[in-house]
């Protein structure tokens, strides 16, 4: 799909949702270090929201504030219209699965999961049923009587999830809850968590380092850098219409081509893609971006690897000239790296065509890279 065309697609489906948690102007500092800088965030009732950002950007800190394990230095939080800013953790209808899943070491698995229900004085018979259901969900019914120290890391992680889910909280905070699982169990737990979230209508705030997981599971993704949100949007808009270069580079594989604006018209702009020797640069006629563009301005054209087309250099086609420096067969795709004259390395991913005898590029082979006009996403230089 065209990057620019899709840019207005998804906004309508989220804007009319009811806000379960309203976070306004929340800041948090440890000593002199400002970790969160005036966070504004609405978390919608029943949504799956993922926090994504580099290590140390403040994801866990934000979860700890929402959970009530830390207090903000400034700002407010409202849950269902009630101010909870200074409410302690155990008074909030929110459960957390921590990054270091802290199970009670002296209790067996059953008692770990039953703990919250016992506190709430749920009848014994009901506790039994609910704990068993939770154990089934994480496929560990047979380990009910074990102690946490006799479980693997991945099993402990699943028990921690079961222990949080069993309370059926309004909101569940999950800090990298699947990181200790192997690939197969991870995929199973992803769909289990999605199913639970849909069936129980629990609002999930999820942290992961796995971008594919974020893109496939979330209703919205909040991209964070150094305690500031860069973009809060649907996965498709985050991927296809990133708000800035940070988001573009952080999510997925990205190709950025430098270009200079030659002409600005009503609906379109004319640019020179400045990746080759002077006089040999392609001129392109593109849809005008939303931001203000001026003649002479430097801009970036963003293209994902799957948007790039590769041609043999002698086929008479116009495009950017480069050399193949890497090419790997990935089953359904052929993924290559092409070095342009500017030194820019272009990543490409093409559907593998076994009928084409030339499809396996040789190292060093000269090729042209190109794309369909309108598939690029345009970002200003920063
Ligand atoms: N109790 C604390 N005292 C002082 N500094 C802290 C404390 N907790 C966190 N920090 C600092 O706050 C910053 C943000 O930490 P946080 O744990 O929120 O990051 P994160 O985004 O969750 O990172 P990761 O992806 O590695 O889990 C880090 O620089 C961290 O060192
Ligand atoms: Mg963290």
Higher pLDDT, 239 or 137: 239
Least confident range of 89-98, 111-120, 122-131? 89-98
Nearest protein CA to atom 16 of ligand 1, as residue: 58
The answer to whether 319 and 370 are in contact (CB under 8 A) is yes
Q: What is the pTM of this model?
A: 0.87
279-293 pLDDT per residue, tens: 678 899 999 999 999
Q: Which positions ≥6 away from 296 have C-beta within 8 Å?
A: 260, 261
The answer to whether 336 and 358 are in contact (CB under 8 A) is no
- In this prediction, residue 12 carries a pLDDT of 37
Could you tell me the distance, in angstroms and rounded to a whole number, from the CA of residue 6 to the centre of ligand 1? 35
Nearest protein CA to atom 18 of ligand 1, as residue: 58
pLDDT at 13 over 50: no
Could you tell me the distance, in angstroms and rounded to a whole number, from the CA of residue 28 to the centre of ligand 1? 11
pLDDT at 342 over 90: no
170-192 pLDDT per residue, tens: 999 999 988 888 888 899 889 88
Measured CA to CA, the distance from residue 98 to residue 207 in angstroms comes to 10
Q: Which atom of ligand 1 is nearest to the CA of 51?
A: 21
Ligand 1, residues 32, 51, 55, 60: which to mutate, most atoms within 8 A of Cβ? Answer: 60
pLDDT at 317 over 70: no
Which ligand does the CA of 53 lie closest to?
1
Res. 312 pLDDT band, cuts 50 70 90: confident
- In this prediction, residue 9 carries a pLDDT of 37
**3-class secondary structure, 253:** coil
Nearest protein CA to atom 4 of ligand 1, as residue: 30
- E strand intervals along 3-71: 19-30, 33-44, 48-52
Map out the domains of the chain with their CATH numbers.
5-250 (3.40.50.300), 255-380 (2.40.50.140)
Q: Which positions ≥6 away from 34 have C-beta within 8 Å?
A: 27, 28, 227
Measured CA to CA, the distance from residue 35 to residue 23 in angstroms comes to 16
């Amino acid at each position: 799909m065209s990057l620019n065309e899709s840019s207005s697609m998804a906004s309508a489906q989220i804007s009319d949702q009811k806000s379960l948690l309203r976070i306004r102007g929340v800041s948090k500092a440890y000593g002199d270090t400002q970790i969160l800088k005036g966070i504004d965030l609405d978390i919608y009732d029943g949504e799956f929201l993922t926090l994504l950002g580099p290590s140390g950007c403040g994801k866990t800190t934000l979860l700890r504030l929402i959970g009530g394990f830390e207090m903000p230095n400034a700002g407010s939080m409202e849950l269902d219209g009630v101010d909870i800013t200074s409410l302690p953790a155990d008074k909030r209808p929110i459960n957390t699965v921590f990054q270091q899943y802290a199970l009670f070491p002296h209790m067996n698995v059953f008692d770990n999961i039953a703990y919250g229900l016992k506190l709430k004085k749920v009848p014994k018979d009901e506790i039994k049923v609910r704990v068993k259901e939770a154990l089934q969900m994480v496929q560990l019914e047979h380990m009910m009587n074990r102690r946490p120290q006799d479980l693997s890391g991945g099993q402990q992680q699943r028990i921690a999830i079961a222990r949080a889910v069993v309370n059926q909280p309004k909101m569940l905070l999950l800090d990298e809850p699947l990181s200790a699982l192997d690939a197969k169990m991870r995929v199973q737990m992803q769909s289990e968590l999605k199913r639970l979230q849909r069936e129980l209508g629990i609002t999930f705030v999820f942290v992961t380092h796995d971008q594919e997981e974020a893109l496939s599971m979330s209703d919205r993704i909040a991209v964070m850098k150094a305690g500031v949100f860069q973009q809060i949007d649907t996965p498709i808009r985050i991927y296809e219409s990133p708000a800035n270069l940070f988001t573009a580079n952080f999510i997925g594989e990205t190709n950025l081509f430098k270009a200079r604006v030659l002409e600005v018209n009503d609906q379109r702009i004319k640019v020179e893609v400045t990746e080759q020797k002077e006089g040999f640069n392609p001129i392109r006629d593109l849809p005008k971006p939303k931001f203000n563009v001026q003649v002479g301005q430097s801009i970036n054209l963003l293209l994902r690897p799957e948007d790039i087309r590769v041609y043999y250099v002698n086929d008479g086609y116009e495009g950017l000239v480069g050399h193949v420096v890497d090419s790997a067969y990935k089953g359904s795709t052929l993924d290559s790296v092409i070095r342009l004259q500017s030194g820019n390395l272009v990543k490409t991913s093409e559907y593998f065509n076994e009928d084409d005898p030339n499809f396996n590029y040789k190292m060093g082979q000269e090729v042209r890279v190109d794309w369909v006009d309108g598939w690029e996403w345009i970002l200003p230089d920063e």
